[in-house]
Amino acid sequence: MTDLDDLVQRVSLRAASDSDSLPAPVSSARIAEAEAQLGFALHPLLVRLYREVADGGFGPDYRLLPLLGPGSGVVGEYLTRREASVGVEHPEWPEGVVPILTWGCAMYAGVDCLSESGQVLLFEPNPYSGGSWDQCWFLDSDSLAAWLETWLAGTGWFEEDASDGDDLIDPRPWDRAASRLSSGA
């Protein structure tokens, strides 16, 4: 068993223990439909989560969004945010970053599907005061795998008791935000 196989299995066990009514996993056809609508491939670990664990409904706090809805879903949220960012002086949402869950108050966790590791980003627009949106983007985790490990261990910044631990890592400004927002990629 590879490390990713083990991680997906542990996420699946935790998801099942946290909820007795998880949505069914999505099919390969639904993954292909989502990727066709997005115009790029989802990060491979994200694909495994949706295909092997569930169509959202698990994970930290508000839990992962469903892939294709109905209502608020990964693809719909991404397309809405990207549409509002195309052709404007100050784009809000970079290409290739799919929102996977909402933290409330317009904040999102997103996976950068254009990064090899699937960096997890935090979009925190509440301090926005006009101009560039790059100050609203933070690097939450260097990889989706590491982000999931913090959730499983209860050590993510989003965990209520995590501030008591010595290993808490707060999100830091995303150093690629300005370039990714201005380039469209």
Q: What is the pTM of this model?
A: 0.92
pLDDT at 153: 93
pLDDT tens sequence across 30-60:
999 999 999 999 999 999 999 999 999 999 9
- Going by pLDDT thresholds of 50, 70 and 90, the confidence category of residue 71 is confident
Domain that includes residue 113, residue range: 3-183
168 pLDDT above the threshold of 80: no
Residue 35 CA to residue 183 CA, distance in Å, equals 21
Number of domains in the chain: 1
| CATH code: domain of residue 123 | 3.40.1580.10
